[in-house]
Each structure stands twice: as structure tokens, then as C-alpha cells.
Chain A
Amino acid sequence: SQQGEEDPQALSIQEGENATMNCSYKTSINNLQWYRQNSGRGLVHLILIRSNEREKHSGRLRVTLDTSKKSSSLLITASRAADTASYFCATDATGNRDDKIIFGKGTRLHILP
């Protein structure tokens, strides 16, 4: 299966610390995306990194991609209470029909006050 898998499944850190979540996948990809989900409803797109990119930044978010290891990491710096959410990676495998992407099971991040 191409599906990405996030690690760890759950993470609790103190407010102000950095949070790192990892994603591993099995097949070659065109791009990898990270999403956030609050309160079990719709997901919000955070960042997309293409297979020829190694690192990308967006505000307090830093994403890295290592295609040789088929892995990605999402770093949230200076975490805030509002960052408490589930974070999912999603991959668009090469050879997939059209732009179909598949989500992992997510990492539940809890920021402690």
C-alpha cells in the first residue's frame, strides 16, 4: 500500500516546545502534503512538498522530505495551545490515476499549558 504512516500516534509537549511528527510511505511519490484536523471535522491543508524538494517552510512549520528513505517530517516550532490537533500526511503516488492522494492515520498532538 502507498499509504503514509505517521509516527508517533500521539504526542504531548509543553507549550513553547517544538513538536516533530514523522511520516513514512512505501512507493515513489509526486508530492507529499500535511494537513491538520481540529475537533474531528474537516481537514485544513498546511503545506505541500514536491518530490524534488527537500525542505519547505511556512510560518512556524518546517517540512522535510527524504525520498531515499521515503519519509517526511513536520516540525512545529514554539508550539501554542491552538496547535493541539491531529496531523495527517497524504501522498500522491507516481503512477496513481490522476491526482488521487491517500492519507495516513494521523498523529494526535496535545500542547500542555
Chain B
Amino acid sequence: GAGVSQSPSNKVTEKGKDVELRCDPISGHTALYWYRQSLGQGLEFLIYFQGNSAPDKSGLPSDRFSAERTGGSVSTLTIQRTQQEDSAVYLCASSLGGAQYFGPGTRLTVT
């Protein structure tokens, strides 16, 4: 079946603009994660959704970052008033517990 998909694959935006990144998880997966990865660095946890529970937002770096997961499926990560330090690859993963399945990521460049 289809894996995790993310869109867009690349996004270039001007400093100060808002961006929305989308994640389509594997159907039926209850857990959904967002991570950020700067060049050559490890994964930085951002936010975690599990079923109908309140999301774990402990990794969001500032109040400019927010995420939603509608109907327990598709998730959108929104970054408001983007800054150059927001430039990174944003990775989404879904899981039924245990192994996580990652999407290809969205490479965000803030100019």
C-alpha cells in the first residue's frame, strides 16, 4: 500500500511569510510525528499526535509553530512569520506503535 507522503517536497519562501506543510500518513496509523532536521544534524522532535489524545507539543520551538491533525489522518504543520533559522527538512512519520514509517520530507528554505 501507499507509504507516508508529504507535500510540497521543496518550499522556498521569503522571511516573514507563513507556510503550510502537509503530511498524509499510512491509513490506519494512529500515531503521527513531526520532526525537523537541519543539514547534517539529528532529528529534532516537534509534535506528536496519538489517536484522540491531546497532542504532545513539547518540541515546538516557538509559538510561530502549530500543527493540526484532522479526522485522525492528514496533518498540517504551519509556520507563521518564517525566519531563516526555520530552514530545514521537515519530516513526518506515522506508526501503529513500534516502527515509525517516514515520509520523504519537505525541504524548507527561507530567504
Contact = CB atoms under 8 A, between A and B. Distances in A.
Interface stretch (B12-20, B62-70, B74-82, B93-101): B93-101
A112 interface: no
Interface in B6-58: 31, 35, 37, 39-43, 45, 48, 50-51, 53, 56
Interface string A33-77: 101000011111100100000000000000000000000000000
Contact of A40 (B4, B53, B89, B97): B89
A100 B43 CA distance: 14
B11 to A, nearest CB: 15
A101 B99 CA distance: 10
A103 B50 contact: no
Contacts of B91: 41-43
Nearest to A44: B102
B104 interface: yes
Contact of A45 (B41, B42, B101, B104): B101
A48 B99 contact: yes
Contacts of B97: 99
B42 A104 contact: yes
A106 B42 contact: yes
Interface string A87-113: 010100000011111111110100000
Contacts of A106: 42-43
| 4 shortest interchain CB distances as A-B pairs | A105-B42, A42-B102, A45-B99, A98-B50
Interface of A: 31, 33, 35, 40-45, 48, 88, 90, 97-106, 108
Interface of B: 4, 31, 35, 37, 39-43, 45, 48, 50-51, 53, 56, 89, 91, 93, 95, 97-105
